[in-house]
Every structure is written in structure tokens, then in C-alpha cells.
Structure 1
Amino acid sequence: MAKAIKPADLRAKTPDELQTQLLDLKREQFNLRFQRATGQNEGAGRTREVRRAIARIKTVQHAKKVAGATAPSARS
């Protein structure tokens, strides 16, 4: 199994890197769902890991978006 993604590692990435990683994980999630539907899924825990990794990335993206939106008004 792959190593879990740590939030600290995600915070260090740029928004473009996060988006790329998110797209890769969504593709993997689709493939895992497809494998499960056809009875070929052997790593049932990987689906859970991918789903949680997607949530972590979305959380970090949202936090960066909010921080970027509030930062300029705080300086004024």
C-alpha cells in the first residue's frame, strides 16, 4: 500500500501541484471503483486511502484560498 499523504507535505505544494495530484487521485478513484464493479479489486483499503487523500487536498486548497482572500484586507 502507498504511504498516506501528510497535510504538512500538501501545504508546501503550489496550487498547480495540488490540482495535478487531485486529478491523479480522482483517476485512481475511478479505476478502483471500476475494478470493484468488475470484481477485480484486491486492495479494498486503497479506496479509503484515496478518498481521504482527496479530502485532504481539497481542505488544503480551500484553506489556501481563504488565506489568500483574507490576507490583503488584513494589511490595509
Structure 2
Amino acid sequence: MTNNDILIRLRYALDIKNKDMVEIFKLGGMDFTKDEVLNMLIKVNDEEEAPEEYIKCNNKMVEAFLNGFITFKRG
């Protein structure tokens, strides 16, 4: 499971909207546009080559999302 898969699963499990994803990343210290967030959420199979606009998430991005999510939920 990749970091992108983790973000996709969290987004759907917690019913997070796209604009909220942008806000969560911002609260975690990373600024992304809505389009960039959508490009992170593209589902890619192992057999397929990723589309050109696909953004691969690293550990820092997931960490920023999780930290931002904590702040987002606390208010």
C-alpha cells in the first residue's frame, strides 16, 4: 500500500471533501491547490503507468495531512 492509497482510503472512510483536504494540508504546513490534491488521489494500478499529472505522496506529505487533520478536527 502506497502513501497515496492511504490518503485515498482516509478520504473516503472519513468522508472528507476536496476543499477540506486542501485546508487540512494547509493546517499541516503544506500548501496544495485543489487540482494538486486531486492528482494525489488518482488510483494507479501496479500494471499501469501513472498519468503525467499524478503526484506521488512522500512520508512528509502524509505526516502533514495527519497533523493537519488533528488540528482540523479539534477546531
> Does TM, normalized by the shorter one, top 0.5?
no
Structure with bigger gyration radius = 1
- Give the helix-richer structure, 1 or 2: 1
TM-score (norm 1): 0.31
